[in-house]
Amino acid sequence: MSASLRHRLDVDLGSRSYPIYIGEGLLDDPAYLHPHIGGRQVMIVSNETVAPLYLDRLLANLQGYDCVSHLLPDGERFKDLAHWQTILDALLGARFDRGSTVIALGGGVVGDMAGFAAACYQRGVGFIQVPTTLLSQVDSSVGGKTGVNHPLGKNMIGAFYQPQCVIADTEVLNTLDDRQLSAGLAEVIKYGLIRDAGFFGWLEHNMSALLNRDADALAYAISESCKCKAEIVAADEHEGGVRALLNLGHTFGHAIETGVGYGEWLHGEAVGAGMVLAGDLSRRLGMMSRDALTSAVALIERARLPIHPPAGMGPERFLELMAIDKKVRNGRLNLILLEDIGRGVIRSDFDPEVLKECLTTACRE
């Protein structure tokens, strides 16, 4: 098998800068993995779905290291402190020292939990992301957000912790199920909506190719998404400002995920419906034209994502869950809204009655 690197991007964070490698077959090529492993002890954290597909290949690429694997159950509903602790128990049980490296092999849940464990084990050990879903390749593996959910809110406990590198092997997307592919496309569309109308246009022309898993189209979409995210993260690592734009649709989406129970809706599905709500609110506030909203909703729908909130979730439940979101500061809810395709803005000065109206209408449909 010969690996083919298509893109290398760098997240510019001074002494904590790191590369993102994008291409086919990178999983098997030591050139991308080995330079980023400091010591000899390596723990691969994966889950029961991904491990049977790719764990042996990754292990074959790690000969000469002391490797241990730790498997988590598959799903967002296991992204909690109890399962996070099993990773720490395993690291201690294997007597891993402070020079060891944790590799996350899986989607966003695996990456978030393994990264948070790497951040806290002995106050921080090496960490490498090998994302295996489209969503984690374009979003969650880049930027250093790690953490777990709490019954009272999503991603409420965690750390900013940057990996040594991200290895996005596009071949693994061939085994992804259609629902997961669509969930990843939600985050891809997000980048177009918040700051790149040109990329949004490209997505409109290439949505069929992406859904058909055209290798060129996927590699381009991943690279553009990572480029956008890397630039934003380099400008604002700890989300004091512009990084918040990446949360378009996420405050609504997190409320959906918590409301229906973690794992019922995929994160990307909730973000899809959440972006429709953010767009609709923007239009109601007179910020965005009806045409632009129609284009946004149409693309989200073509990506086979939900465009309505889950049945049975009322506006009150939305407001209650959104009130505890991380985007709340001193009692004011900050939302990412749209002025147009490609122009996201952070706003907290909107009329709460319009938000209520938007949710009431959406929940009735």
- In the residue annotation, 224 being an active-site residue is answered as no
- In the residue annotation, 7 being an active-site residue is answered as no
Among residues 36, 154, 195, 250, the one annotated as catalytic is: 250
Give 326 or 347: the residue with its C-beta nearer to its own copies.
326
- In the residue annotation, 205 being an active-site residue is answered as no
Contact (CB, 8 A) for 300 and 252: no
CA 327 to chain centre: 17
Give 243 or 267: the residue with its C-beta nearer to its own copies.
243
In the complex, minimum distance from the CB of residue 317 to its own copies, in angstroms, rounded to a whole number: 16
- In the residue annotation, 206 being an active-site residue is answered as no
Among residues 76, 187, 224, 237, the one annotated as catalytic is: 187
Q: Is 142 in a helix, a strand, or coil? A: coil
- In the residue annotation, 36 being an active-site residue is answered as no
Place of tokens 């969930």: 183
Residues 150-179: b if buried by 16+ CB within 10 A, e if exposed: eeeebbeebebbbbbbbbbbbbbbeebeee
What is the token pair recorded at 180?
């997961």
- In the residue annotation, 243 being an active-site residue is answered as yes
- In the residue annotation, 8 being an active-site residue is answered as no
Backbone angles phi, psi at 150, to 5 degrees: -125, 150
Among residues 6, 79, 195, 267, the one annotated as catalytic is: 267
- In the residue annotation, 123 being an active-site residue is answered as yes
Among residues 243, 283, 327, 343, the one annotated as catalytic is: 243
What is the token pair recorded at 243?
């990084």
* Distance of alpha carbon 25 from alpha carbon 18, whole angstroms: 20
In the complex, minimum distance from the CB of residue 143 to its own copies, in angstroms, rounded to a whole number: 11
In the complex, minimum distance from the CB of residue 329 to its own copies, in angstroms, rounded to a whole number: 5
Residue 353, amino acid: E
Give 88 or 345: the residue with its C-beta nearer to its own copies.
88
Among residues 47, 149, 155, 247, the one annotated as catalytic is: 247
Contact (CB, 8 A) for 150 and 321: no
Judging by beta carbons within 10 Å of its beta carbon (0-12, 13-18, 19+), is residue 1 exposed, middle or buried?
A: exposed
Binding site for its own copies (CB under 8 A): 39-40, 81, 85, 88-89, 92-93, 95, 97-99, 119-124, 145, 147, 150, 152-153, 155-160, 238, 323-324, 326, 328-331
What is the token pair recorded at 219?
């590699």
- In the residue annotation, 343 being an active-site residue is answered as no
Among residues 123, 205, 290, 329, the one annotated as catalytic is: 123
In the complex, minimum distance from the CB of residue 43 to its own copies, in angstroms, rounded to a whole number: 15
* Residue 261, number of CB atoms within 10 A of its CB: 10
Q: Are strands 126-131 and 165-169 parallel, antiparallel or unpaired?
A: parallel
Give 3 or 67: the residue with its C-beta nearer to its own copies.
67
* Residue 260, number of CB atoms within 10 A of its CB: 17
In the complex, minimum distance from the CB of residue 326 to its own copies, in angstroms, rounded to a whole number: 5
- In the residue annotation, 70 being an active-site residue is answered as no
Give 21 or 121: the residue with its C-beta nearer to its own copies.
121
Among residues 24, 224, 239, 269, the one annotated as catalytic is: 239
Give 6 or 154: the residue with its C-beta nearer to its own copies.
154
Give 4 or 85: the residue with its C-beta nearer to its own copies.
85
In the complex, minimum distance from the CB of residue 57 to its own copies, in angstroms, rounded to a whole number: 26
What is the token pair recorded at 61?
């690429």
Task: Give the sign of the dihedral formed by CA 190, CA 127, CA 56, CA 168.
Answer: positive
Say how many CA atoms lie within 13 Å of 78 toward its Cβ: 19
In the complex, minimum distance from the CB of residue 67 to its own copies, in angstroms, rounded to a whole number: 15
- Residues annotated as catalytic (active site), given as ranges: 123, 145, 187, 229, 239, 243, 247, 250, 254, 267
